[in-house]
Amino acid sequence: MDVTEKIKKAGVVGAGGAGFPTHVKLNAKAEYFIINAAECEPLIEIDKYLCRTYADRIVKTVDSLAKFLQAEQAVIALKGKYKSEIAALSNAIRSQHADIRIHQMDTFYPAGDEQIMVHEVTGRVVPERGLPLDVGCVVDNVGTILAIADAIEDKPVTDKILSVTGDVEHPLLFQVPIGTSVRFLLDQAGLSRGTYGVINGGPMMGKVLHGENEIDEAVVTKTTGNLLVLPKDHYLMKRSALSVNRMAHQGRSACIQCRMCTDLCPRYLIGHDVQPHLVMRNLYRENTDLDREEYKKAFGSALNCCSCGICEMFSCPMGLSPRKMNDYVKGRLRTQGIQVEKNHSPSVRDGWEHKKIPTSRLTARLGLSKYVSHEVPDDVVQLQPDCCFIPLSQHIGKPAVPVVENGNRVEKGTLVAGAAEGLSANIYSGMTGIVTEVTKRGIRISRKGD
């Protein structure tokens, strides 16, 4: 079985993003193989831990995958301030005589955005709405590399290592079966129910879990990397409660057209046509009878927005929500079937180097500085819940199809849902137990069968 077949069988998907099936991404030849270990958002701890702890395994796997991709350069990109992680990786590279370069990045947001990283490492710019492969690059997250290392040894994806950060005494690292409930983890972290808010992911692009019910229903998936715990009345929690209508109203009445949202937008700065100030300027006529050409002219640039959030969480002096407005009009462009031409060869705009947003400034702006911990978690706490709920859709593409029924006994590593036809991924049980529920949403497994 070749390496992509093994990766497909093991159900590996991108660990650091939306969950793109990895066997599809690696079915290519590339000039650069770039490993993303930049830990993009503030307060996330997981890439650092993986680099420190599994440096040898990462280097060995990257070296063999680079050969598989026929890559001329294999590069591990991480922040230059990650001194002990760089030392661990450098030692592993030396001792294995691996042909891998370490690229040290500045500490800015969004250093871990795939397209920004490609530019930083190669100087090339990915076309609008394009892929790194369009400029000869394959980019994988460091967590994905470790899942591939397991897949090569015929071990499927069953568990996830994630951090719990924010309003906790010090950051915690857990290893749990896929499908473990978020509430179970927070209980284990000693947090009392009803006293906190949670963001699934980082503060910029993570999903805010609204209310106790959403926290109760949330589970760890193949793409979960961090849970950010915050006081319920934190600025980020309050901001997330604003409705789209309210944000649009604020935009129409308070935007001063200063252009800061556009001038500091990282995608705009690498040459893409993203102009949130134009979207904001035109909001007043979004609901009028604009013909398709006018609508495209007013709002089409939103399609090139990657939702990094800098415009609304950092740039806007009025506290407005250009990212959310971009998201909104993107949906409207799609439902109206309006196509927007792509620039296939964008070039970087002047000032990019000076307009990178320092992570420390962003952290302060978000009201998170007091949660920055200098206590580095060294140990992962392994937990085994009594039950888990495994979603069938944890990846881009079609949901997986259940292959078990109520009452079946499964072991850790049993295939519980097979990849659907087309783009999809296999899903395995992370625990031994009895299947107690199979729905369109997912599969519940209980240790005791109750």
Which positions touch ligand SF4 (CB under 6 A)?
A: 255-261, 265, 267, 274, 276-277, 280, 305-311, 315-316, 318, 320, 322-323, 326
Q: Where are the beta strands (DSSP E) in 317-446?
A: 357-358, 381-382, 387-391, 401-402, 409-410, 415-418, 427-428, 433-438, 442-446
Residue in 139, 129, 109, 151 with CA at minimum distance from that of residue 366: 109
Nearest distance, CB of residue 316 and ligand SF4, angstroms: 3
CB nearer to ligand SF4: pick between 59 and 270: 270
CB nearer to ligand SF4: pick between 15 and 308: 308
**Separation of alpha carbons 282 and 252, rounded Å:** 8
CB nearer to ligand SF4: pick between 220 and 261: 261
CB nearer to ligand SF4: pick between 151 and 280: 280
CB nearer to ligand SF4: pick between 139 and 265: 265
Query: Residue 380 carries which side chain, given as an amino acid letter?
Result: V
CB nearer to ligand SF4: pick between 85 and 113: 113
CB nearer to ligand SF4: pick between 116 and 142: 116
Nearest distance, CB of residue 73 and ligand SF4, angstroms: 27
CB nearer to ligand SF4: pick between 258 and 423: 258
Nearest distance, CB of residue 182 and ligand SF4, angstroms: 26
Contact criterion met (CB below 8 Å) for 302 and 280: no
CB nearer to ligand SF4: pick between 23 and 356: 356
Nearest distance, CB of residue 318 and ligand SF4, angstroms: 4
The sheet with strand 159-166 has its strands ordered as 207-209, 196-200, 226-231, 159-166, 172-177, 381-382
The residue assigned the tokens 């963001």 is: 199
Strands 207-209 and 226-231, sheet pairing = unpaired
Contact criterion met (CB below 8 Å) for 388 and 431: yes
Nearest distance, CB of residue 97 and ligand SF4, angstroms: 40
Structure tokens belonging to residue 197: 């808010």
Nearest distance, CB of residue 269 and ligand SF4, angstroms: 9
Strands 137-141 and 32-36, sheet pairing = parallel
Angle made by CA atoms 16, 18, 20, in degrees to the nearest 5: 95
Nearest distance, CB of residue 317 and ligand SF4, angstroms: 6
> How many H-runs (helices) and E-runs (strands) does the chain carry?
18, 19
Strands 433-438 and 442-446, sheet pairing = antiparallel
**Separation of alpha carbons 182 and 428, rounded Å:** 19
Nearest distance, CB of residue 270 and ligand SF4, angstroms: 10
Nearest distance, CB of residue 389 and ligand SF4, angstroms: 32
The residue assigned the tokens 């998201």 is: 327
